[in-house]
């Protein structure tokens, strides 16, 4: 399964991610992940996220669970 990092506010997505073949982990993990899903609240003034790995970052603002999974599938397939 592909690991996906989640911000704490998005923990409600954990089961949906598992059901779709992903392994959810904390955004603070040192593990290698395939993507990160964020709330968008941690973006700084220059629109740059504090992500330390070169992976797709999905901003979940305004998206429902289905849209998030679809975006994840599109970005890391």
Q: Are 32 and 25 in contact (CB under 8 A)?
A: no
- In the CATH scheme, what architecture does the domain 2-76 have? 3-Layer(aba) Sandwich (3.40)
CA angle 16, 20, 21 (to 5 degrees): 120
Q: What is the pLDDT of residues 14-61, one digit of tens each?
A: 999 999 999 999 998 889 999 999 998 655 433 444 545 588 999 999
40-46 contacts: CB < 8 A, separation 24 or more?
41/9, 42/7
Q: Are 60 and 43 in contact (CB under 8 A)?
A: no
Q: Is the pTM of this model over 0.75?
A: yes
CA angle 47, 50, 55 (to 5 degrees): 95
């Amino acid at each position: 399964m592909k690991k996906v990092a989640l911000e704490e506010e998005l923990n409600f997505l954990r089961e949906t991610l598992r059901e779709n073949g992903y392994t959810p982990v904390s955004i603070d993990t040192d593990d290698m992940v395939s993507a990160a899903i964020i709330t968008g609240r941690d973006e700084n003034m220059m629109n740059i996220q504090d992500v330390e790995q070169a992976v797709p970052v999905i901003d979940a603002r305004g998206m429902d669970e289905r849209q998030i999974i679809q975006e994840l599938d599109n970005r890391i397939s």
